[in-house]
Structure 1
């Protein structure tokens, strides 16, 4: 080894040995001058205190602060002057390690290089009057001092560490509470002329982060880990936290902020950003009442969120501004799931400046909101939800879709679409109850084109349907409606007054008023109206309310429709009428008919009544008036009214009649046998009885030389009482071209026919020359009179026999009348 290296090593070794000896000497000095050192440290720390600082004991820590001297202060407490009143100790540390400059200590001064606080609690308390135990720290003197004379300059700490330290900020006046459990906090500080800078590494557990203790804590039980770079400027008194990444639980945020110490109370601004966080994770960082509400929603994939907080440590909530960006995501809301959803969201608790930072003045704005609900695409340019205490949602809803996609939304209990398109543009305003739209007020239009739709409760099917709906604030207007089913085409316009109010509160009271015109209407295609409605009972939701589908079904099932019809041509089986007008009221399983008038068979018909629907059979009550219709055509159109022996082929003339009848009709529109009851009167003019077999049977042996195939009569009046399959013929005179007769009795559609006929044998042609009607009536029954009885035969056909019971007992069936 070269000689100079040996010399150098000896010199270095000597210096190290000297330093070690000096260090040991200083340590020994501290040990033997413990009280003096304790007094020096206490005096130094008390420079900026306005209260009581006590240190239980002091022990040097050999080599721990080398080349400085480290001491451990045991049981260090700092209390303000009013501690006896509030009992909140500002600092209570079991182990308070201080590293000081050794040379300065030899000169009787203390320069603190590092502080370590372990197993301690720091409690910053402010009572309801605004007094704080931090007043224990003296404020800086406002007098100008030179560096030489400024002996009271604040202590500069270059490094610090916190381990197992509980830190509390309890502000009773501002109702704020911040609690942290610092597992490990390490920091380095430097002191430029402008103020100070620090870099610290944080690992702490949040026990409370409450800006308002009444609303609960943010970040509850979340672990914070990450670095911070902090700068303080003496002139502006501004603490600036540079943006840096911080772990909060399992998520990473970029957090920065500012604290203005020039204001009282201190103002602050915090900026929090996360470009990739799950909705549930973000919700769980907030206060419990907010988390509970937000957990009713969900967004499947991560979203980008930015939060700006601006406020003070005084009373009141901070200004909150939250923005988020959602792209092609799945959003779940109470009662629905929106797919392919995108929007830009903004939350603020300062909707209108000057009205306070609170829930009443809060607003949620959703810009360019678009998505798909059950295959129904929609957009909302701007949606607002303001006043979170009594939330109100507003916006304009737009959508264009194939109407068959509506089936999954409204259910298939009332309407089912199979073709067509729909365009919606609806402005809405609604209260939010349990985060669901409640009774929204709507205005706008719904236009449906080229749709095929079935109305299931009535088993009706329409094709090429067009509908235009216009919603005002209160009413529903329906225009340009075209319905086609089979050969029938119907054009409709309608109106529902007070629609929305009734729809949400009492759908049974909805009344639709329709104006209907049809160039041709085939009634057989609308026989579904004879069917009993097949609606199901509304299904209750968990909160006891019915949902949208149920409300719609109830409106269809229980609501009423008032129809005012004008039809150019009406077809039903063999029936044809023209210029038909009618007023109908469709209610719950009933149809009320009034003011019905049609042109038919050369005359006119008027009718009123109602139909009650009961399962497969419908009961009806009808009042009809028939004026001057062609009898043969009339009977043909109504399928002979169920008669078998008397058909449209047997009758000619022009009929006027009135009827008041009840009966039953099945769902196919056919009369139920033996169901008709009532009374009908008729007046037949210019009539003829053609090939009527009961008369022909009589004529074979009573009038063999008269033409009974075509019996004409000028005027025939009568009354029939109908009771099921029995028709009671009130006594009726028939004056015809062939014979006169008096008829009375019962005609049965099954069995029980018993008709008495009194027929004079004289030829009525001889009486045509008699002008005096009274004289003619006297002679009509003179001469030989046959008393015949038409009854049931064994073969089921009508049998003609002598009426042995005519008149008195044992009186012959044939008599001579003078």
Structure 2
């Protein structure tokens, strides 16, 4: 059987191979057709270059009211395949008023334009793709509202079913490379400026507008909604994609939520932007892992400066809404929310650790009052944390009016007193046991990041505390204090202090306390009411010495200004004290029912009024004391009918060596106006007294005073010189240092009478003149007539004596009166 051959008509080829040959021939025909067509187009474009360029320029100029010029055109077929692509060079677009404002809307070194082939063959130019590179776009709005975008005419709307409602239905793709974009609205003080590295987009037209997919890489140089307040996102790189929908009837571009890199931070961005007559915009920005300072630096400088009062160490979650109008001269609504969890908040006054809160910033705190710093607020809710290991809770706090900031909020805390060592340096106050509970609300100005003119309401309760005030070495135990804040005043109640032997109960108030504490502590006046059933003054003698400046154990930066503020308050504050003491002790001095009004000023003590019962009599005193290395005092004292022996004993015999309290009996009264010095231990500085003392001694006795006894043995051997009674002894003494001037004084006693005057010195310089009638005063005891007594006083022999210092420093008594 013979095999079939190709030329054998009785054995035709298989149908499958036949169709392959047909398809190959058709494909070759189409290729030849395309090549022939492109060859024809190439010939056409080459031979009609000027006509095409003129047609393209004319077509583009039909839609504008200014001037579009194109320097040159080159054909690039493959770049627009299957259409025709042309490269336009040196493209310049200007509006009709360019010569007035000198801002060119578009300057492009290169513009790639893809043309519709069929339209081109019909002699018209339809653009399907535009790519611009090495260009500058400058949209300008003059102060009077004119814009160079007036260069564009609004084209008539396309009928339904014609491929979409766009004025350029054939434009499907666009791109920008190395293009600077500027929108300069001088009428509204706005400036938007971007450096577009790359922007590529594709358009899909719909019945209502279009949808676009856009990729962007750019530098945001300026996004200033108001140039006087600074720019948002200044000099930040942008990298991301956008899914955009345009509704032509509403004039709105909707940006679906997409990721966008701003600088090194990844955000989710969604937006709604008005175009044309609708200039409103709404932009949502989210980032669930960004540092506080990085978020703050994305906002305008006026807002950033306020937010940078604080810092948050670890990343936080932030959302931001910008809602405004491109044609408005104001900032947009700025609404920022932040969620902080287990973080560290850095403030001008110190760090807050383990903090959790919801933060909110808005520049329209009061609705319809404008988007301004004055109407801005920072709000914190559900705030918990630890401030220098002191736990606290703030349900809500806010900083209002960022032009003149006002802080408001509530504050509560409970802690053990020994934890205050982390806040207050223990070289100022040292805390032991005890507890503190605080519940406060506050309102205060914020000046240079510090509170001023605060108004506080609430209570602080301290119980069973041990406190040492180190600069004066004063220790108090079992301290209980109730502090009640009412607006700007402080009321202090339920204070009980215990030292070694003393117990003091106090209550008081300070007018305008917190304002003065922050602004003028030297004007703080604490009005005290103090009661003590038993007060040992020696335990408080540290107040007589100079107050030592508190040294620091921990650097200042770790404790803010709190220690300094307290130290300055203790140093500068004034105390207006009203005291009542049942029993008062000081060394040998003992008094009862002591009442005083004392004003403690800066390094000085003023005793406005002091009264007490002592030694069976009373003492009243006013005076001052200026503190220093030694303390200078000045007093006016009125001593009435005190037991002279106990009085001398209480004051350690006033520094006299020979005359002791056991030598004296009687009731002593005196008026003294003296000054001098007291050492830091509370003792009188010897030979420092200066002033005048007048005195009166009733029912006085001089007992066993050895200097008199020694003289009496020889001069008056038959008189009782060991028990000398005085009859209403009066005198005036001027004290100056170690010398006492004795004014002429008559001494009438049971042993002898004397007239004395001169100077007594505790050192050298004694010179006393004594006239001694030798007549025995006992002979005249029954005479009551004062004139008769005066006549008899100097009858008989009168001895004139002169007591002076000898060469050995001892006082020598010699015969001889005043010369």
Q: Give TM-score scaled by structure 2 length.
A: 0.86
Aligned to 2:149: 134
Once residues 720 and 57 of structure 1 are traced to their aligned partners in structure 2, the CA distance between those partners, rounded to angstroms, is 120
Once residues 215 and 768 of structure 1 are traced to their aligned partners in structure 2, the CA distance between those partners, rounded to angstroms, is 103
Cα shift readout 1:121-140 (whole Å, capped 9, x = no counterpart): 33333333434333444435
Q: CA deviation at 1:774?
A: 5.5
Cα shift readout 1:214-273 (whole Å, capped 9, x = no counterpart): 333322332211111111234444321111001112111111111234x72422211111
Asked if structure 1 preserves the Cα contact closer than 8 Å seen for 2:454 and 2:488, the reply is no
SS for the counterpart of 2:371 is coil
Q: CA deviation at 1:694?
A: 1.9
Aligned to 1:114: 129
* Match runs of 1:179-578 below 5 Å: 179-261=193-275, 264-291=277-304, 294-295=307-308, 297-316=310-329, 317-334=331-348, 336-403=350-417, 417-455=431-469, 458-500=472-514, 502-503=516-517, 506-534=520-548, 553-578=567-592
Does the C-alpha gap of structure 1 residues 308 and 773 become closer, same or farther in structure 2, counting only changes over 3 Å? Answer: closer
Asked if structure 1 preserves the Cα contact closer than 8 Å seen for 2:766 and 2:803, the reply is yes
Does the C-alpha gap of structure 1 residues 599 and 805 become closer, same or farther in structure 2, counting only changes over 3 Å? Answer: same
SS for the counterpart of 2:226 is coil
Asked if structure 1 preserves the Cα contact closer than 8 Å seen for 2:109 and 2:134, the reply is yes
Q: CA deviation at 1:737?
A: 4.6
Once residues 504 and 136 of structure 1 are traced to their aligned partners in structure 2, the CA distance between those partners, rounded to angstroms, is 61
Moved more, 302-311 or 526-535: 526-535
Cα shift readout 1:742-776 (whole Å, capped 9, x = no counterpart): 55555544455566666666665555555666656
Aligned to 1:660: 673
Once residues 712 and 493 of structure 2 are traced to their aligned partners in structure 1, the CA distance between those partners, rounded to angstroms, is 64
Aligned to 1:710: 723
2:87 is aligned, of 72, 75, 79, to 72
Please, what is the CA RMSD of the aligned residues? 3.8
Asked if structure 2 preserves the Cα contact closer than 8 Å seen for 1:111 and 1:155, the reply is no
Aligned to 1:543: none
Cα shift readout 1:567-604 (whole Å, capped 9, x = no counterpart): 11110111111111122222333322243221111122
Aligned to 1:61: 76
Query: Number of aligned pairs?
Result: 795
Matched, 1:805 2:816: yes
SS for the counterpart of 2:229 is coil
Once residues 628 and 283 of structure 1 are traced to their aligned partners in structure 2, the CA distance between those partners, rounded to angstroms, is 78
Matched, 1:618 2:631: yes
Asked if structure 1 preserves the Cα contact closer than 8 Å seen for 2:769 and 2:818, the reply is no
SS for the counterpart of 2:80 is coil
Moved more, 24-33 or 547-556: 547-556
Aligned to 1:98: 113
SS for the counterpart of 1:655 is strand
Does the C-alpha gap of structure 1 residues 28 and 454 become closer, same or farther in structure 2, counting only changes over 3 Å? Answer: same
Does the C-alpha gap of structure 1 residues 573 and 3 become closer, same or farther in structure 2, counting only changes over 3 Å? Answer: same
Aligned to 1:170: 184
Aligned to 1:694: 707
Q: CA deviation at 1:697?
A: 1.5
Moved more, 279-288 or 158-167: 279-288
Aligned to 2:556: none
SS for the counterpart of 2:272 is strand
Once residues 181 and 229 of structure 1 are traced to their aligned partners in structure 2, the CA distance between those partners, rounded to angstroms, is 21
Once residues 625 and 753 of structure 1 are traced to their aligned partners in structure 2, the CA distance between those partners, rounded to angstroms, is 28
Matched, 1:26 2:37: no
Q: CA deviation at 1:191?
A: 1.9
Once residues 149 and 695 of structure 1 are traced to their aligned partners in structure 2, the CA distance between those partners, rounded to angstroms, is 138
Moved more, 413-422 or 147-156: 147-156
Asked if structure 2 preserves the Cα contact closer than 8 Å seen for 1:27 and 1:69, the reply is no
Q: CA deviation at 1:647?
A: 0.8
SS for the counterpart of 1:229 is strand
Does the C-alpha gap of structure 1 residues 44 and 658 become closer, same or farther in structure 2, counting only changes over 3 Å? Answer: closer
Asked if structure 2 preserves the Cα contact closer than 8 Å seen for 1:47 and 1:154, the reply is no
Q: CA deviation at 1:297?
A: 4.1
Cα shift readout 1:608-664 (whole Å, capped 9, x = no counterpart): 222233x33222233322222222222211111111211111122222233333322
Once residues 752 and 781 of structure 2 are traced to their aligned partners in structure 1, the CA distance between those partners, rounded to angstroms, is 12
SS for the counterpart of 1:633 is helix
Asked if structure 1 preserves the Cα contact closer than 8 Å seen for 2:396 and 2:409, the reply is yes
Does the C-alpha gap of structure 1 residues 147 and 626 become closer, same or farther in structure 2, counting only changes over 3 Å? Answer: closer
Q: Give TM-score scaled by structure 1 length.
A: 0.86
Moved more, 156-165 or 166-175: 166-175
Cα shift readout 1:468-515 (whole Å, capped 9, x = no counterpart): 333444433333332333212222223333445555555434433322
Q: CA deviation at 1:532?
A: 2.9
SS for the counterpart of 1:174 is coil
SS for the counterpart of 1:64 is helix
Cα shift readout 1:148-195 (whole Å, capped 9, x = no counterpart): 899997432222222222323233333322222222211122223343
Does the C-alpha gap of structure 1 residues 494 and 68 become closer, same or farther in structure 2, counting only changes over 3 Å? Answer: same
Once residues 792 and 51 of structure 2 are traced to their aligned partners in structure 1, the CA distance between those partners, rounded to angstroms, is 161
Does the C-alpha gap of structure 1 residues 489 and 33 become closer, same or farther in structure 2, counting only changes over 3 Å? Answer: same
SS for the counterpart of 1:281 is helix
Once residues 771 and 415 of structure 2 are traced to their aligned partners in structure 1, the CA distance between those partners, rounded to angstroms, is 76
Aligned to 1:161: 175
Aligned to 2:557: none
Once residues 236 and 165 of structure 1 are traced to their aligned partners in structure 2, the CA distance between those partners, rounded to angstroms, is 29
Any stretches of 5+ residues in structure 2 without a counterpart?
1-13, 552-559
Aligned to 1:815: none
Moved more, 277-286 or 513-522: 277-286
Asked if structure 2 preserves the Cα contact closer than 8 Å seen for 1:581 and 1:596, the reply is yes
Does the C-alpha gap of structure 1 residues 46 and 155 become closer, same or farther in structure 2, counting only changes over 3 Å? Answer: farther
Does the C-alpha gap of structure 1 residues 223 and 644 become closer, same or farther in structure 2, counting only changes over 3 Å? Answer: same
* Match runs of 1:624-639 below 5 Å: 624-639=637-652
Asked if structure 2 preserves the Cα contact closer than 8 Å seen for 1:694 and 1:798, the reply is no
Once residues 335 and 151 of structure 1 are traced to their aligned partners in structure 2, the CA distance between those partners, rounded to angstroms, is 61
Does the C-alpha gap of structure 1 residues 198 and 569 become closer, same or farther in structure 2, counting only changes over 3 Å? Answer: same
